[in-house]
């Protein structure tokens, strides 16, 4: 397996799907778009056609050089090399065909940001994890996403639309922010779920706070879990 495939980099090759992703974003000439993962640049020209400004960030040095050669002429495009999730750009629209290895980081980063909407392509299996709101299969990322966002499946995408084709199909989803969270709350929720098989009383002792309940995290709503996380952060 080559390095890019092992990192979850499967490149979209369908122009029609690329156009659909950009259309879903409802970009206007007042919008600044942040694209994470320039890749081979299939989305970027369509984004530049519609947006006031496009900031496209690519982590892979070779792909960045290739993108700079093919895309660098657009007057409203800022092409950057690096880790987008360590930046603090202001943007109104987030668009990405995310490398599968970055999906969780993207959600955790987005819950901390202010923006109008995000249109993201993710692995179908990951999307299904985001939708779990109860039971033992629930994860920290599910709680963060359900509490912070309204999430909608816009389009199913077969694996044959990528090169190399991944083993599983993808979905294009829309995220509309509802509640913004701090990095401390994100970290606290993740820490809570490291003890998810324990009772709340036991978790409280581990965290240095008193929680008079023998319920488990799987029994709580997203809001109740966030409130416990806030208590831990005090």
> Tens-of-pLDDT digits for all 234 residues of the chain?
344 444 557 899 999 999 999 999 999 999 999 999 999 999 999 999 999 999 999 999 999 999 999 987 789 999 999 999 999 999 999 999 887 789 999 999 999 999 999 999 999 999 999 999 888 889 999 999 999 999 999 999 999 999 999 999 999 999 999 999 999 999 999 999 999 889 999 998 988 888 899 999 999 999 999 999 998 887
pLDDT value, residue 188: 95
Q: What's the predicted TM-score (pTM) here?
A: 0.92
CA distance 170 to 155: 9
Q: How many CB atoms lie within 10 A of CB 83?
A: 12
| Ramachandran bin of 158, using left for φ above 0, alpha for ψ from -120 to 50, beta for the remaining angles | beta
Contact by Cβ (8 Å): 79, 67: yes
Contact predicate 132/144, CB 8 Å = no
Q: Is 97 helix (H, G, I), strand (E, B) or coil?
A: strand
In order of 68, 87, 94, 198, the CA distances from 210 in angstroms are 55, 37, 40, 14
What is d(CA 10, CA 33) in angstroms, rounded to the nearest whole number? 22
- What is the chain's percent helix, strand, coil content, to nearest 5? 40, 20, 35
Both tokens of 104, joined, read 């969780």
Domains and CATH numbers, the chain: 3-180 (3.40.50.150), 185-233 (no CATH)
DSSP state of 7: T
**Angstrom distances, CA of residue 94 to CA of 11, 53, 174:** 18, 12, 10
CA distance 233 to 8: 34
């Amino acid at each position: 397996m080559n390095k890019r495939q092992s990192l979850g980099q499967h490149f979209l090759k369908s122009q029609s799907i690329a156009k659909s992703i950009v259309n879903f974003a409802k970009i206007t000439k007042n919008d600044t778009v942040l694209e994470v993962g320039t890749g081979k640049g299939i989305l970027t020209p369509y984004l530049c056609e519609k947006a006031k400004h496009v900031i496209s960030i690519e982590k892979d040095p070779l792909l960045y050089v290739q993108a700079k050669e093919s895309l660098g002429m657009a007057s409203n495009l800022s092409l950057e090399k690096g880790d987008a999730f360590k930046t603090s750009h202001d943007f109104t629209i987030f668009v990405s065909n995310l490398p599968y290895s970055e999906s969780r980081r993207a959600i955790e980063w987005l819950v901390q940001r202010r923006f109008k909407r995000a249109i993201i392509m993710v692995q179908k299996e990951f999307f299904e994890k985001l939708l779990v709101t109860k039971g033992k299969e629930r994860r920290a990322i599910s709680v963060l996403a359900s509490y912070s966002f309204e999430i909608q499946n816009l389009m199913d995408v077969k694996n044959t639309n990528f090169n190399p084709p991944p083993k599983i199909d993808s979905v294009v989803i829309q995220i509309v922010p509802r509640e913004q969270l701090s990095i401390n709350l994100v970290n606290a929720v993740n820490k809570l779920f490291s003890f998810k098989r324990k009772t709340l009383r036991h978790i409280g002792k581990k965290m240095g706070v008193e929680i008079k309940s023998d319920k488990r995290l799987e029994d709580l709503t997203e809001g109740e879990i966030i409130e416990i996380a806030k208590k831990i952060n005090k």
